[in-house]
């Protein structure tokens, strides 16, 4: 239970709880560039904390990341949880974190174009003006060495 977190919803209706509990933890999508896995944390682990600078033992201590890297059917993982926007390449897997629209952080949203292999990040605070923050190539996963 994390109800003590700032901005956490203190209670929800039984119908809302049933709806949320029925949702799958992950969802796979076919894209022109390969399979993409949509999740909250890292794969089935909702609480995994993968950041742009996560290195060493912290990476080794993330079995769900290792499983996805070795899963030949998934090339991209789109997650969130940390709210730190990133595109990070691992052997066998490219990880995308879209960022956040939380009011205390830099509010942004990410558009992935798998056909053009582009990542475009826009300011959510200035969404009506189409303020582009960043645009970069969407890299394919690194090969295993």
CATH class of 23-137: alpha beta
Q: What is the pLDDT of residue 2?
A: 57
Q: What is the pLDDT of residue 91?
A: 97
**CA–CA gap between residue 102 and residue 65 (Å, rounded):** 25
* pLDDT mean values, one per 10 residues, the chain (145 residues): 65 92 95 97 92 93 96 96 91 93 79 97 79 94 89
- This prediction has a pTM of 0.88
Q: What is the pLDDT of residue 52?
A: 93
Assign 66 to helix, strand or coil. Answer: helix
Q: What is the pLDDT of residue 99?
A: 84
Q: What is the pLDDT of residue 125?
A: 80
Residues 6+ apart with CB under 8 A from 68: 37, 42, 43, 74, 77, 92, 93
């Amino acid at each position: 239970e994390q109800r003590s977190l700032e901005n956490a919803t203190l209670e929800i209706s039984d119908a809302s709880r049933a709806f949320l509990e029925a949702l799958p933890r992950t969802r796979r999508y076919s894209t022109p560039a390969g399979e993409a896995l949509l999740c909250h944390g890292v794969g089935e682990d909702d609480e995994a904390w993968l950041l742009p600078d996560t290195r060493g033992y912290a990476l080794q201590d993330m079995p769900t990341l290792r499983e996805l890297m070795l899963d030949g059917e998934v090339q991209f993982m789109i997650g969130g949880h940390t709210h730190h926007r990133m595109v990070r390449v691992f052997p066998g897997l490219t990880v995308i974190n879209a960022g956040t629209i939380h009011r205390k952080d830099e509010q942004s949203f990410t558009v992935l174009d798998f056909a053009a292999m582009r990542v475009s990040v826009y300011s959510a605070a200035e969404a009506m003006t189409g303020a582009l923050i960043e645009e970069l190539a969407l890299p394919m996963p690194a090969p295993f060495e």
